[in-house]
Structure 1
């Protein structure tokens, strides 16, 4: 079993796999490590049963910096393997020892809904259902995909077109600055938590092509003015809607409906299996309903792996944080010691 970090070149390991998704590249994990305030690491295992690759972010625990935890990158992840599922059991028997020896207290996995690894992982560690996500089935003809849009979605797309809105793919790096401004305005409007106010460097790094992905920046324009935008990342098998942004004063022109329609056209042209739109903030909220208006309810279940590796230390750390909280604690939150009061 090989442990790699920021100083190693992961690409030679990545090239041994047929279809790792965008979240498994060294560049993407490093980017996520910056926003998670941790260090990028990965494990690679290869034997007679197949091969396995598992990238994650290793973070110091604030309440006691002698201890660490690990979390998969922003988006989705988990130990991805090709071959016999027995390799997963062998990996975890070795990985647990590594974690305990290196003072890693918990493992949090944002299990990739499209990769069919949840059923095997849940046999080894506890998992909890978070919410549904949705995707566009790109194996269908484009005409059928569009016919399956909800009637209200079709009306909103037509409204945008009649109002003179057009959707374009940008090839100008200067447009990243335009998107950043739109994004911050959107976060203000949605009263987002500080985590989602990514710094400018994040967006520039995100737009770099990697061994596993190619990002695209799309805009909705009206009268020559960019009024909404989104970033979609194309992988080997799947496209992923990553971030969206829009100017508040132009929302009535329905630019986002037209943008998503353009994103679907672009993704369809890449010969991929699906365009994953993700979920809502909560299950079945207005954002999720907007996304499913494009997908004909091609939905997936998103689970979170919640693995406590050192129960006694976990209990002690969580107790310290709970005692410091001004409000009652949420027992479903994981890990408990990362709750904010």
Structure 2
């Protein structure tokens, strides 16, 4: 797709993660008129409440950070364009029985600014990134402790390997499994098969690579790096804790930055950290740049239906998490 600013807005991204949502169906809603052009990709999921003959849906943005985005707009007409888009999308929701929206907005593109009057919001923590446009990222962004860790890994003869074809996916998956178990991750949404990772190298050819760290021939740390336009992302990272003392992950961050600068990237996104305090401290060691807000947008499109669904869920088993959105999934 032309002129999207980041990989998370590509249609192939949304389609690829469609299966992460139970019974999910990917859709791209495209709004175009004389004022401009807005795209919004999402995954529609059947509402998990028995409603009889009618099937209702709620929608969620695909894994990652996207949401509706203004691709083109006449100067001074942005507010008018968004209003007309919202009217058209409301009609679409009514015609397709879409009850609610859950939007993970993109923190670095900050597309939320164009739609902030349409949603209620929740701040979901910080999004940490390294500014690659500084004169010397190692001295200007990395903390003294992180610089020491990088030098330690180099002194310990940790080797770095870049894999652009997916040949080492098996090693990455092995390390990812170790990391998931160590962190107590048992939600299928965050667990991926080796085949799922392998397929990504076909779909996102030229837009991702594995950055591996090896010690005495063993793979000890690995990061799946995405890149598109001005941005690169530490999408998923995996480590063997038996080798933490070698500081391989710090060396991976350093080498990723070097690659980004050589390939004209402006920012290296390290991702969110909630609710892990140690992870936040680790990532903050690589940047002095102020973190971005990770914003979640929520909207009820069919209020009457929403209320009925909540009532029905309360009658049939109840709602365990009262602060959840949408509440009938709580």
Whether TM-score is above 0.5 comes out as yes
Map of 2:58 onto structure 1: 69
- Structure 1 residues 143-194: Cα deviation after superposition (integer angstroms, max 9, x where no partner): 2444431121112112222222122212453311111111111100100132
Q: Distance in 1 between matches of 2:282 and 2:315?
A: 40
Partner in structure 1 of residue 285 of structure 2? 293
Equivalent position SS for 2:214: strand
In structure 2, runs of 5+ residues without a counterpart are none
Taking a change above 3 Å as real, the CA distance of residues 210 and 87 of structure 1, as seen in their structure-2 partners, is farther
2:202 counterpart residue number: 208
The superposition leaves residues 82-105 of structure 1 with CA deviations (integer Å, 9 ceiling, x where unpaired) of 324232221111101111111111
Q: Deviations over 1:194-224 (max 9, x none)?
A: 221112332122223549x600111011011
Take 2:301 and 2:128, find their aligned partners in 1: how far apart are those partners? 32
Q: How far has the Cα of 1:258 moved from its partner?
A: 0.9
CA shift, 1:326, in A, is 8.2
Match of 1:26 in 2: 11
1:80 pairs, out of 69, 75, 84, with 69
Distance across 2 between alignment mates of 1:206 and 1:64: 35
What's the Cα RMSD here?
2.1
The answer to whether the 8 A contact 1:137-1:298 is kept is: no
Give the paired residue count: 320
CA distance in 1, matches of 2:310, 2:242: 44
- Match for residue 305 of structure 1? 297
Aligned ranges 1:246-285 → 2 under 5 Å? 246-282=239-275, 285=277
Aligned equivalent of 1:9: none
1:51 aligns with 2:37: yes
Partner Cα distance (1:55, 1:239) in 2: 21
In structure 2, the CA distance between the partners of 1:117 and 1:147, relative to structure 1 (3 Å rule), is closer
Q: Is the 8 A contact 1:145 1:295 kept in 2?
A: no
Structure 1 pair 221–115 and aligned structure 2 pair: CA distance change class (3 A): same
TM-score between the two structures when normalised by the length of structure 2: 0.90
* Deviation for aligned residue 1:72: 0.8
Q: Alpha carbons of 1:152 and 1:206: their partners in 2 closer, same or farther (altered >3 Å)? A: same
When residues 329 and 19 of structure 1 are mapped into structure 2, their CA distance, relative to the original with a 3 A threshold, is closer
CA distance in 2, matches of 1:127, 1:102: 24
Equivalent residue of 2:202, what SS?
coil
Query: Under a length normalisation based on structure 1, what TM-score does the superposition of the two structures give?
Result: 0.87
Tell which deviates more after alignment, 256-265 or 166-175. Answer: 166-175
CA positional deviation for 1:77: 0.7
Moved more, 61-70 or 124-133: 61-70
Aligned match of 2:85:
91
Point out where structure 1 has 5 or more consecutive residues left out of the alignment. 1-13
Q: Hey, what's the Cα distance between the residues in 2 that align with 1:156 and 1:88?
A: 47
Q: What's the secondary structure of 1:93's corresponding residue?
A: helix
Cα gap change, 1:223 to 1:325, in 2 (>3 Å): farther
Q: Distance in 2 between matches of 1:182 and 1:266?
A: 22
- Map 1:128-167 → 2, pairs under 5 A: 128-141=122-135, 143-167=136-160
The reply to whether residue 318 of structure 1 matches residue 303 of structure 2 is no
Describe the shift of the 1:47–1:328 C-alpha distance in structure 2 as closer, same or farther (beyond 3 A): closer
**Relative to structure 2, which stretch is displaced further, 264-273 or 144-153?**
144-153
Q: SS of the residue aligned with 1:157?
A: helix
Report the CA distance shift for 1:161/1:210 in structure 2 as closer, same or farther (over 3 A). Answer: closer
Could you tell me how far 1:48 is from its partner in structure 2? 2.0
Q: What CA distance in whole angstroms lies between the structure 2 residues aligned with 1:210 and 1:43?
A: 22
